[in-house]
């Protein structure tokens, strides 16, 4: 290999590494921004899971835009880290942000980016929050939270808002493609 070719490949790999780092920073920032938005706009609708409209839209949009396999997980990691410091009273909030991203990425990988499976994966992933609450409360023998609203209502509401949010994210992505 000639020295000029070696320098060219070295420059290309440096650029690719820099672009990956920049994209990762953008994805993490999107997660932090989503949690900040949630913290600043706590609307008391008294409907479990209504934050899923925005959260699942952001996750779905990030997953569809980014070429990274684990893009939604990276966004969710940023959100989980931020949720730990923003005064959320739910100790499981970081995990509640992380799991939907992981589930969406797994659905995307398993389906070869089938949009229907991705949307359903996002909606099911958003149901992780009431599932975590129910498991934690059940383990402690406490009957508040999802048990208070009704487990079926909490899951159904999270599923519906997660589905709507994922559809909004997919629609936004579709409009940017022309």
Name the token pair of 37.
Answer: 């938005």
Predicted confidence (pLDDT) at residue 145 exceeds the cutoff of 80: no
Q: Give the C-alpha separation, 83 to 176, whole Å.
A: 29
Number of continuous H segments (helices) and E segments (strands) in the chain: 8, 0
pLDDT score of 113: 87
Predicted confidence (pLDDT) at residue 16 exceeds the cutoff of 70: no
Confirm if 107 and 117 have CB atoms less than 8 A apart.
Answer: yes
Question: Given pLDDT bands bounded at 50, 70 and 90, which one contains residue 167?
Answer: very high
**Mean predicted confidence (pLDDT) in 142-162:** 77
pLDDT score of 130: 87
Domain count, the chain: 1
How many angstroms separate the Cα of 29 from the Cα of each of 41, 75, 88, 120, 141?
18, 7, 19, 25, 37
pLDDT score of 6: 46
pLDDT score of 143: 61
Lowest mean pLDDT among 38-42, 116-120, 143-147, 148-152: 143-147
pLDDT tens per residue, range 17-75: 656 788 889 999 999 999 988 888 877 777 888 888 999 999 999 999 998 999 999 99
How many angstroms separate the Cα of 127 from the Cα of each of 56, 151, 152, 158?
11, 11, 11, 5
Closest CA to 101 of 81, 129, 76: 76
Q: Give the C-alpha separation, 147 to 160, whole Å.
A: 18
pLDDT tens per residue, range 66-119: 989 999 999 999 999 998 887 666 778 889 899 999 999 999 999 988 999 999
**Mean predicted confidence (pLDDT) in 138-161:** 76
User: Which domain does 17 fall in, by range?
Assistant: 3-176
Closest CA to 171 of 64, 11, 45, 52: 64
pLDDT tens per residue, range 118-142: 999 999 999 988 888 888 877 877 6
First to last CA, the chain: 43
**Mean predicted confidence (pLDDT) in 139-165:** 79
Give the burial string for 16-53 (b: 16+ CB within 10 Å, else e). Answer: eeeeeeebbebbbebbbebbeebeeeeeeeeebbbbbb
pLDDT score of 1: 53
């Amino acid at each position: 290999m000639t020295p000029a070719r070696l320098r060219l490949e070295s420059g290309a790999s440096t650029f690719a590494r820099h672009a990956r780092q920049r994209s990762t920073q953008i994805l993490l920032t999107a997660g932090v921004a989503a949690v900040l938005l949630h913290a600043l706009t706590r609307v008391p609708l008294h409907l479990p899971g209504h934050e899923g409209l925005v959260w699942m839209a952001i996750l779905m949009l990030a997953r569809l835009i980014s070429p990274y396999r684990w893009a939604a997980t990276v966004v969710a990691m940023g959100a989980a880290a931020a949720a730990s410091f923003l005064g959320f009273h739910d100790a499981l909030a970081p995990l509640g942000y992380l799991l939907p991203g992981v589930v969406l990425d797994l659905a995307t990988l398993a389906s070869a980016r089938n949009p229907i499976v991705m949307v359903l994966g996002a909606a099911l992933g958003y149901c992780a929050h009431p599932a975590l609450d129910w498991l934690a409360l059940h383990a402690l023998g406490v009957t508040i939270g999802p048990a208070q609203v009704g487990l079926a209502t909490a899951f159904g509401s999270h599923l519906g808002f997660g589905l709507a949010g994922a559809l909004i994210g997919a629609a936004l992505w579709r409009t940017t493609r022309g």
